[in-house]
Amino acid sequence: MFDLSPDDITEGPVLRALLVLAAPLLAQNVVQVFQQVVDLFWVGRLDNAGDAVAAVGLVVPLQALVFGFAVFIPFVGTQVLVSQRIGADDVVGARRGVGSGLLAALGLGVGVGVVGILLAPALIDLITSVRPEGVGESVGPLAVAYFSVLMLVLPLITLSDTTEAAFVGWGDSRVALYMNVLAIGLNAVLDPIFIFGFEENPAFALLGLGGVADSLYAATGFAGLGVEGAALATGVGYGVGFLLGAALLLAGRNGGMTSRSAFRIDLAEQRELFDIGLPMAGQQVAKQVADLALVVLAFSLGGAAGLAAYFVGFRVAGVAVIPSLSLQQAAQSVVGQNLGAGLVGRARTATWHGAGIAVTVLGLLGVVQWVVPELIVVVLAPQLDAAGVALTVEYLRVLALGYPAIGAAYLFQAGFNGASETRTSFLASLAQYWGVRLPFALVGGLALAWGVSAVFWAVTLSNVAAALGLAFYYYYSAENGRFDPEPEGAAPN
């Protein structure tokens, strides 16, 4: 049912190719977000839950900023290079893309991870310098501890994600699912153990295994690592997932996706990979620096309650956008392979069909979120105080209004990304975050004294603006032949 060859992508029904490739990615992304929800679920049950949740929330945009550079360059570069070369029947070139992507992932993971560990205290101190009255002193140290462990395991994350990108670009999204199920399944098991240890572990109590936990504590004395344990469990899971992907690569899956000669430093290959991936990294950096400013603003205007609301909303939105993210990843491969084969019309069809599906699905999810925000808060963060609950409910409802726009924006970006036009996605995000989101939040929150609500509305309004702008520009670009293949003998741009 989920078998999909390169010929199916370039010759079969476009909608089937899009959905079949997206289905395992949907499951994969569900599993990935499950890991984030599991982290929140257990961190929210620590004795210092308010400060712990706020600390992890404080790290979210900083983490995403780092991941945007270290993960997105090799991930997007590898997926687009591999998909376009497979579409053009250049298997040797696709293998070079896989090898170059993994080498870039390793280098970036190690380099950025070391810098992140060294700068963690200074970065967190800068963010927490606006700490309002009543916010716990432990928020900053907890955030430093969590972020430092994430940076330690960053090479495992970059290698795992780039391996997934290679398989998805080849048209084999099932392996990405296998890797994530293994990684997140292991993370779910390790999370409560690493966070709480064996002393009064709520997971063991929930399963009726309190006696087992007592025996293990007596034998090991392990009382858990707190928020650091959540980060460590994530790294271990990604590491094991990467080992599975590497084993399948070495076993010759899909007729052999790599070779020894592909694993050499080829400056031309690296330049091409970075030309595609850097704008995507720039997009993520632009987004996350703006979101980091929003976190500081939410912290300043709403205290720990406002920051916790922003973090819970971030996690819930991460669940809601799974369908559009999955379709985006699938569409990038479908668009890339069809453009590689010179089939521009099929690439356009994949983009518009994907956008229609994403808008519909996210619209339905938005309705559900609008109706039951209180239930979501109770499940994810039951230890929040009344102020935190009220602000989180408000933010969840405001977010829900913009869900269809998020879906549309993801798919139109996929249409550009699959065509190697990643600079367009970068510029769109720059306008979305720096032209709309941050200015609206600053003016509303500070000049107009709307409080932290201005931050919430800034997110939704910027999502709508981005969707409308991208839809118009994609239509304009396609109608004016931007994605058409260059005539043979044409001078390069």
* 33 pLDDT above the threshold of 50: yes
Tokens of 264: 């050499």
Taking the C-alpha atoms of residue 45 and residue 55, their distance in angstroms, rounded to an integer, is 14
Of residues 282 and 453, more confidence is placed in 453
What is the percent of the chain with per-residue pLDDT over 70, rounded to a whole number? Answer: 92
pTM for the predicted model, two decimal places: 0.72
Digit-coded pLDDT (tens) for 137-174 = 777 788 899 999 999 999 999 999 999 989 888 878 78
| Percent of the chain predicted with pLDDT > 90 | 29
Q: What is the pLDDT of residue 413?
A: 93
pLDDT for residue 235 is more than 50: yes
- Confidence tier at 290 by pLDDT (50, 70, 90): confident
For residues 40 and 17, give the distance between their C-alpha atoms in angstroms, rounded to a whole number.
35
Res 489 pLDDT > 60: no
Per-residue pLDDT of 373-403, as tens digits, reads: 888 888 877 767 788 888 989 999 999 999 9
Cβ atoms of 234 and 150 within 8 Å: the answer is: yes
Q: How far apart, in whole angstroms, are the C-alpha atoms of residue 65 and residue 72?
A: 10
**Could you tell me which residue, 366 or 35, shows the higher pLDDT?**
366
* In the predicted structure, residue 47 carries a pLDDT above the cut 70: no
Helix axis angle, 91-128 to 267-320, nearest 10°? 60
What is the reported pLDDT for 493? 37
**Are 300 and 70 within 8 A, CB to CB?**
no
- Please answer whether residues 284 and 67 qualify as being in contact, where contact means their C-beta atoms are separated by less than 8 angstroms: yes
320-333 burial code (b ≥16 CB/10 A, e <16): bbbbbbbbbbbbbb
Of 129 and 104, more confident: 104
Q: How far is CA 349 from CA 50, 88, 245, 331, 460, in A?
A: 47, 19, 31, 10, 27
Block residue for tokens 């029904």: 13
What 3-state class would DSSP assign to 78?
helix
Return the pLDDT at 135.
53
The residue that leads in pLDDT, 465 or 50, is 465
pLDDT per residue as tens digits for the range 207-222: 878 788 888 888 888 8
Q: What is the mean pLDDT of the chain?
A: 84
Give residue 396's pLDDT. Answer: 94
Average pLDDT over residues 173-181: 84
Residue 85 scores a pLDDT above 90: no
Average pLDDT rounded to a whole number, residues 29-34: 69
pLDDT tens per residue across span 423-451 = 898 899 999 999 999 999 999 988 888 98
Paired tokens of 237: 């899971």
Greater confidence (65 vs 107) lies with: 107
Rg (CA), the chain: 22
Distance (Å) of CA 353 to CA 2, 156, 411: 19, 35, 9
Q: How many CB atoms lie within 10 A of CB 2?
A: 12
Predicted local confidence at residue 442, as pLDDT: 93
